[in-house]
Chain A
């Protein structure tokens, strides 16, 4: 078990290092940020000074090691545009993204599991077919387009909700959050729902498939033969069995929700990390790009690792295999 753990951690570390090399070299090998940063008409001395200041005259490989050395000390460099430490910049945007992602996951769970259960319990009913059609839409229609439709319907036509931006925030445990107030919710509900749609489609499919499988199993038939009510059959057997794949996928999806927030944040003008990275790519703000990408990859790898390790604890069958 310990050996397995160490092996997984080492693997994760290797992935992070490999990704940092790819991202760093890839991003730094192209374009000249100095051209973006300063007025092309400004004099050569200023140019030289800036190039020196950011170490852009040194070989790439040296720049990488300087970068990694600084990274290990928690210094991810300074944004060319904002002239602020990148780490502070990203962290200041992090609560907004996290809040959005978690709200989206919550919406997806609260809707997806009951809908999936129903669609799996009565797979031939009309309502199940409608649910599946919605899930196919959630899967295939691009997120940004649904976001546009939401804005048009609820903000422009009906005027019920604001079209974008983030509501007033209050500090909770040092994190500025907007979901503490009703007004904050009026801002977050549309983007969160938008971000939830893909997960919703995924969860409905997963839950439905799991429910159909369990409902046709011998042990459900046996449970019915014991006189268990349908509610008990679903609540005890189905929920417990589908909880394992759902928790796994869900853990993994948290990372991708953070990544997909890029799109939703742009549509709804939500001031999170995703909006920051898009803006940075357009203006070639390399340190922000590199730091964001490495950070997201890091989050991803860590989440995958944790889910992998937890997975065994959830399923008694796996627990035995891992122990032996």
Chain B
């Protein structure tokens, strides 16, 4: 991979609660290159969304970034405060949220919200800002963008709203866009359209995406690289195709096995037993051990990072060596454009 635009190193985000300190993000590291899409995968509570918020410095009390670096083109965002970080947000790095019903202010017109976003960084006239907003809407495939500017969010469908949110994120041509489960709340067909659009944008504009999701099917069809998180830690990384074909971490293997589309109909769907542990009382050693089918005596101690080359790592005492898991079949649609 060439020089990364975004490089997260040993990021630690904590929440101070009455029951103690919760380490929502505990030493997360990953890199994204220009025009690449990184799938940040995990169950709810794994810390993947908090990672996204931490990168933009959107963590509020009682949370705080306790350590690590977020290097955007070499500049450490965790050291920026107030006006300095504001200038970065939206301009160099942007974010799209999960629920398009909630991310647009229901009582403000689309145009008003977009113009404010343009003028947050560029001192242009309202007219010029409006023109840029219109162009951005057209770029994400919204028909009759001029009329949409005068609409209120509730007048648009969920898919349209999410396109608007992506258009807002694109306004200042940021180097990186963090997308926090942006298609989870949408219909599958709409989701497909948006994924295709994102892939195209990444390839054409060179914008890097960090695609936060719990849905491996989405990642397998969209992402270049994968980063699997569990209980605040990265448990496996690698190129998307490699990880899906041959997961090294038992947790990734379990997630892949429980994707319904890849499963033989009429037989019981395998699932990862148990549920995500509470961050308040994580087991000592490997947090996944109580649910793991390969757990052994060593798992009560902190697992090592195993490096398999080509950017493939797994945080595990007993990583899967051979191809013991069925690879994903090639029937799933891929949105990877020819390069």
Q: Are B89 and A226 in contact (CB under 8 A)?
A: yes
Q: Which among B56, B102, B116, B154 is the interface contact of A225 at CB below 8 angstroms?
A: B56
A62 to B324, CA, bound (A): 98
B1 contacts A by Cβ under 8 Å: no
Most B CB contacts (10 A, CB to CB) among A217, A229, A240, A316 go to A316
A244 partner residues in chain B, CB cutoff 8 A:
107
Report the nearest A residue to B118, measured CB to CB. Answer: A226
B169 partner residues in chain A, CB cutoff 8 A:
226
Given contacts A221-B97, A227-B88, contact A240 B117 (CB under 8 A): no
Q: Are B112 and A218 in contact (CB under 8 A)?
A: no
Q: Are B116 and A232 in contact (CB under 8 A)?
A: yes
Provide the B106-146 mask, 1 if CB < 8 A to any CB of A, else 0. 11100011001100110000000000000000000000000
A178 to B102, CA, bound (A): 49
Report the nearest B residue to A220, measured CB to CB. Answer: B105
B247 partner residues in chain A, CB cutoff 8 A:
none
Q: Which among B91, B97, B106, B112 is the interface contact of A227 at CB below 8 angstroms?
A: B91
A195-242 at interface with B (beta carbon < 8 Å) = 217-219, 221-229, 232, 236-237, 240-241
Most A CB contacts (10 A, CB to CB) among B105, B112, B116, B171 go to B105
Most B CB contacts (10 A, CB to CB) among A228, A232, A240 go to A228
B103 contacts A by Cβ under 8 Å: yes
A83 contacts B by Cβ under 8 Å: no
B42 contacts A by Cβ under 8 Å: no
Q: Are A316 and B107 in contact (CB under 8 A)?
A: yes
B102 partner residues in chain A, CB cutoff 8 A:
217-219
Q: Are B87 and A227 in contact (CB under 8 A)?
A: yes
Report the nearest B residue to A316, measured CB to CB. Answer: B152
Q: Are A228 and B105 in contact (CB under 8 A)?
A: no
**Interface size (A, Cβ < 8 Å)?**
22
Given contacts A218-B97, A236-B108, contact A227 B103 (CB under 8 A): no
Q: Are B86 and A316 in contact (CB under 8 A)?
A: no
B202 partner residues in chain A, CB cutoff 8 A:
none
A57 contacts B by Cβ under 8 Å: no
Distance (whole angstroms) from the CB of A6 to the closest CB of chain B:
27
A170-210 at interface with B (beta carbon < 8 Å) = none
A1 contacts B by Cβ under 8 Å: no
Q: Are A226 and B103 in contact (CB under 8 A)?
A: no
Q: Are B97 and A222 in contact (CB under 8 A)?
A: yes
Q: Are B107 and A225 in contact (CB under 8 A)?
A: no
A241 partner residues in chain B, CB cutoff 8 A:
105, 107
**Interface size (B, Cβ < 8 Å)?**
33
A20 to B155, CA, bound (A): 45
A219 to B117, CA, bound (A): 12
Given contacts A219-B103, A229-B120, A317-B154, contact A224 B89 (CB under 8 A): yes
A126 contacts B by Cβ under 8 Å: no
Distance (whole angstroms) from the CB of B335 to the closest CB of chain A:
25
A315 contacts B by Cβ under 8 Å: yes
B210 partner residues in chain A, CB cutoff 8 A:
none
B97 partner residues in chain A, CB cutoff 8 A:
218, 221-222, 225
Given contacts A316-B154, A317-B154, contact A226 B90 (CB under 8 A): yes
A223 to B168, CA, bound (A): 10
B94 contacts A by Cβ under 8 Å: yes
Distance (whole angstroms) from the CB of A228 to the closest CB of chain B:
5
B94 partner residues in chain A, CB cutoff 8 A:
225-226
A41 contacts B by Cβ under 8 Å: no
B residues at A contact (CB < 8 Å): 56, 58, 83, 86-91, 94-95, 97, 99, 102-108, 112-113, 116-117, 120-121, 152, 154-155, 165, 168-169, 171
A sample of 9 more A-B contacts (CB under 8 A), given A227-B120, A232-B116, A320-B154, is A219-B106, A222-B95, A222-B97, A222-B165, A226-B168, A227-B91, A237-B105, A244-B107, A316-B154
